[in-house]
């Protein structure tokens, strides 16, 4: 007896599908079970929340200078983390600094994700000459070290937060495009995309339904890893005087202005660096964790 006749002979079954464990649910579950990733996630959430809610959680004014309280040590009464070279409260400045620093870390990556992701999808899906033109043009950017490129663009555009974000976006677009292009090229050649073409679907439908869902994961993970790079580069630009201008609190700028105090009060001078280090490490480890959580077939 053939199987199809067996199937038609079988009694009707309820049309309720079994609880399908979706792929993303599995990823979320594996992420929740990973202590390192969860720790990073919590730290980042705390830093972000503190930055967003700064006016409400910060006890002191980050701009208020005090000539007699300059470079107070960590643990001074009223200033748990000391004061900077102009006597401003370090806690307040670190928390407020997170606002600009996180923006410098996240916004360029988001912009680059939109631009680079689209370019990469286009290059990967269309292939041929389009691919060659897009990818070889972007290769030009690889000729410059990313730090140098960011400094050069920032320098050309002039200092300021907006220009720093533009400069960093330009640095990240080629990198994200390259990742997006390579995963799209892989997916495009798979049989399910061919089968979708066989069913008469348009390129836009195929990209929307079949390609995006399969390439977004790797691209997103890569972008998360870039946030830490962006944070460090952005701080570097501020450090060089190409980014945020004093007296705005920003971790890279604070590191620069406290540089001269490194022999007098090294602990306080290192604090902005600690913040940059912790935040970027957390973004890196989180990207790693999500990547391994996603790297499971079945």
Q: Which residues bind another protein (CB under 8 A)?
A: 2-8, 10, 13-23, 132, 136, 190-192, 194-201, 205, 209-210, 213-214, 297-298
Of 35 and 297, the one with the shorter C-beta distance to another protein is 297
- Smallest distance from the beta carbon of 209 to another protein, in angstroms? 7
Of 18 and 55, the one with the shorter C-beta distance to another protein is 18
- Smallest distance from the beta carbon of 204 to another protein, in angstroms? 11
Of 15 and 77, the one with the shorter C-beta distance to another protein is 15
Tokens of 94: 């670190």
Closest CA to 254 of 234, 266, 231, 238: 238
How far apart CA 123 and CA 117 sit, in angstroms, is 10
8 A C-beta contact, residue 177 and residue 120 = yes
Q: What are phi and psi of 102, to 5 degrees?
A: -65, -35
- Smallest distance from the beta carbon of 138 to another protein, in angstroms? 15
Of 61 and 295, the one with the shorter C-beta distance to another protein is 295
- Smallest distance from the beta carbon of 197 to another protein, in angstroms? 6
For the chain, state the CA radius of gyration: 25
8 A C-beta contact, residue 210 and residue 193 = yes
- Smallest distance from the beta carbon of 251 to another protein, in angstroms? 39
How far apart CA 127 and CA 193 sit, in angstroms, is 14
Of 66 and 130, the one with the shorter C-beta distance to another protein is 130
């Amino acid at each position: 007896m053939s199987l199809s006749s067996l199937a038609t002979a079988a009694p009707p079954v309820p049309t309720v599908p079994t609880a399908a464990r979706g792929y993303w649910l599995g990823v979320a579950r594996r992420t929740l079970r990973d202590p390192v990733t969860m720790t990073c996630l919590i730290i980042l959430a705390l830093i972000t929340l503190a930055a967003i809610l700064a006016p409400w959680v910060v006890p002191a004014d980050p701009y208020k200078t005090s000539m007699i309280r300059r470079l107070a040590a960590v643990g001074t009464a009223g200033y748990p983390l000391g004061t900077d070279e102009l006597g401003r409260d370090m806690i307040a400045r670190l928390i407020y600094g997170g606002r600009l620093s996180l923006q410098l870390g996240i916004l360029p990556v988001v912009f680059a994700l939109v631009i680079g992701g689209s370019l990469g999808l286009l290059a990967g899906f269309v292939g041929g000459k389009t691919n060659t033109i897009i990818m070889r043009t972007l290769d030009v950017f690889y000729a410059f070290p990313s730090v140098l490129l960011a400094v050069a663009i920032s320098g050309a555009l002039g200092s300021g937060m907006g220009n720093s974000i533009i400069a960093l976006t330009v640095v990240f677009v080629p990198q994200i495009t390259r990742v997006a292009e390579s995963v799209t090229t892989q997916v495009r050649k798979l049989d399910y995309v061919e089968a979708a073409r066989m069913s008469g679907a348009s390129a836009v439908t195929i990209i929307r339904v079949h390609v995006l869902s399969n390439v977004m994961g790797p691209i997103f993970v890569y972008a998360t890893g870039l946030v830490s790079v962006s944070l460090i580069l952005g701080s570097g630009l501020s450090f060089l005087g190409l980014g945020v201008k004093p007296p705005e609190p920003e971790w890279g700028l604070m590191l620069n202005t406290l540089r001269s105090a490194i022999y007098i009060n090294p602990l306080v001078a290192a604090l902005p660096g600690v913040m940059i280090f912790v935040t970027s490490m957390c973004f890196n480890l989180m990207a790693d964790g999500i990547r391994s959580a996603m790297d499971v077939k079945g």
